[in-house]
Structure 1
Amino acid sequence: MTKLLEWISVTSAVLAVWYSLVGGYVKHKFIEDNMNLILFSPIIFVVLFGLYAVTVVLYRTFTFNDCKDEAEKLMAEIEEAKKDLQDKGLRW
């Protein structure tokens, strides 16, 4: 199953449960007492998902590894390639 199909199936299942609660197909005292929370739950979930996404992006940005040794090796390879190209007659 592709990731898109996973997202569509989970979203449709959650929306089906939410719609059954909002539409009154399920009767329970707890549901009736918390109808305002149930009505706004999709908005709450979107906001929470946005906060989670921002947190993950910021965490991974701040903990990104700097590879100083690899950068020095790459710069050395670039200088070596420039010398090799100059020896072969390329001028810039």
Structure 2
Amino acid sequence: MSLIIHRCECGHVPGRHHRTASDTREACRNSARPCRCKAYRPVATPEVLPTWTPTGRPIPEITPPGERVDGQTTCSCDACRALYAKLTGAAQ
């Protein structure tokens, strides 16, 4: 299912930031577009991160804000809830 996310100011998605064992700061990882970002700094406006089936068809369902996906809870801020409501017609 698609996710509503806040990109970092550097443009990366949240999953590109992690804490290393030797450093408590977050840093971008496995990036084709390296940056100097040392911490995840989310932009205020959320966006939909789409997903596709293995055959390339878009998956229209969107994970509701605040639900757990891959061991992490999605953002449930007012902006994410408003975007979810706008896209799905469902109040959060």
Structure 2 length-normalised TM: 0.22
Higher-Rg structure is 1
Question: Between Structure 1 and Structure 2, which shows a larger proportion of strand residues?
Answer: 2
Which structure has more helix as a fraction of its residues?
1
Pick 1 or 2: higher relative contact order, CA cutoff 8 A, min separation 6. 2
